[in-house]
Amino acid sequence: MPDIILHPSPNWNERPAGAVIDTVVLHYTGMATGQVALERLCDKVAQVSAHYLIEEDGRVFALVPEEKRAWHAGVSRWRGVDNLNHTSIGIELVNPGHDFGYRAFPEAQVTSLLSLLEGINTRHHINRHGYVGHSDIAPDRKQDPGDLFPWQRLARHGFGLWPQVGGADVTVIAKRGQKNVNVVKFNKQLGIIGYSIDDIQSFDATTECAVRAFQAHWRPETVSGVIDIGTASILEDIAGQLGQ
């Protein structure tokens, strides 16, 4: 376990009575430097925080105690539950993000993350399915931690699911504007995984955002917002692992 540097943020409140921590939400900071992000997450005026921030060199900063409610998820919904701040632990990984030069997460940072997740899992017994990206729980407005995040590696350590099938075929089979039986099936599968779908009958804007988030998480080679043959097989695989 890397040393944890205490760096308290004033931005937290109590979790609701009876709230059980069952989810870990992964973010990138999306700011020019880690220092700027750390200052913002501890600035009372900004009204945002996370439980942890991990620098690219692997240093781990503890901002909010796990038992308290940090303010990282914002308007969010996953598996039919709103406001993920109530029940989750939020981890910010320093990365400039899509606005400032998105880049790979360095080895030291990923190693620290895996150690931190080991500890969190020991303390809270997070279900294998309980590891999500900010983009999964708020797909219409967030794209972190993005398609370079090492979800497959986390899954190998027991943090999250990973498909057993490949998904290289990018032949398009469903896209925005369509309404047919395939669309209904894909919407149902996205819903089983946890995405919030407005209208099960149609491939609308919410479906498109969910597909994009799904691809960034489970089929990062091609994040297109359309369902191709590869995405469809992976979607079926992941939904199946959840006991469809």
Q: Which is nearer to Zn ion, 136 or 237 (CB)?
A: 136
| Stretch binding Zn ion (CB under 5 A), from 23-31, 107-115, 218-226, 233-241 | 23-31
Range in contact with Zn ion (rule: CB under 5 A) among 3-11, 19-27, 96-104, 199-207 = 19-27
Of 28 and 186, nearer to Zn ion (C-beta) is 28
Q: How far apart are CA 148 and CA 160, in angstroms?
A: 16
- Return the beta strands (E) in 77-148 as ranges: 77-78, 81-82, 88-93, 131-133
We find the least distance from the C-beta atom of residue 26 to Zn ion, in angstroms, to be 8
Size of the site for Zn ion (CB under 5 A): 3
Q: Which two tokens stand for residue 64?
A: 């909010």
Nearer to Zn ion, 49 or 202 (CB): 49
The least CB distance from residue 138 to Zn ion, in Å, is: 8
Range in contact with Zn ion (rule: CB under 5 A) among 14-22, 27-35, 49-57, 173-181: 27-35
Residues of this chain, 172-191, that bind Zn ion according to CB under 5 A:
none
Closest approach, Cβ 218 to Zn ion, in A, equals 18
Chain-centroid distance of CA 243 in Å reads 21
CA atoms within 13 A on the CB side of 164: 5
Binding to Zn ion by CB under 5 A, coded x per residue (else -) over 117-156, reads -----------------x---------x------------
**Rounded to whole angstroms, what are the CA distances from 74 to 23, 60, 184?**
15, 23, 29
Residues with Cβ within 8 Å of 189's Cβ and at least 6 positions away in sequence, in order, are 235, 236, 238, 239, 244
- Regarding 27 and contact with Zn ion (CB under 5 A), the answer is yes
CB 142 to Zn ion: min, Å: 6
C-beta closer to Zn ion: residue 144 or 228: 144
Instruction: List the interface residues with Zn ion, window 194-223 (CB under 5 A).
Output: none
**Residue 149 · residue 26 · CB < 8 Å:** yes
Task: Decide if 236 is catalytic.
Answer: no
CA 26 to each of CA 161, 182, 187: distance values in angstroms, whole numbers, following the listed order: 15, 31, 24
Q: Which of 55, 56, 92, 208 is catalytic?
A: 92
- When the beta carbons of 15 and 134 are compared against Zn ion, the nearer one is 134
Integer Rg of the chain from CA: 18
CA distances from 199 to 50, 139, 141, 178, 186 (A): 32, 15, 18, 12, 12
DSSP string, 158-188: TSS---SS------EEE-TT--SHHHHHHHH
Query: Residues in the site for Zn ion, rule: CB under 5 A?
Result: 27, 134, 144
The residues carrying an active-site annotation are 92
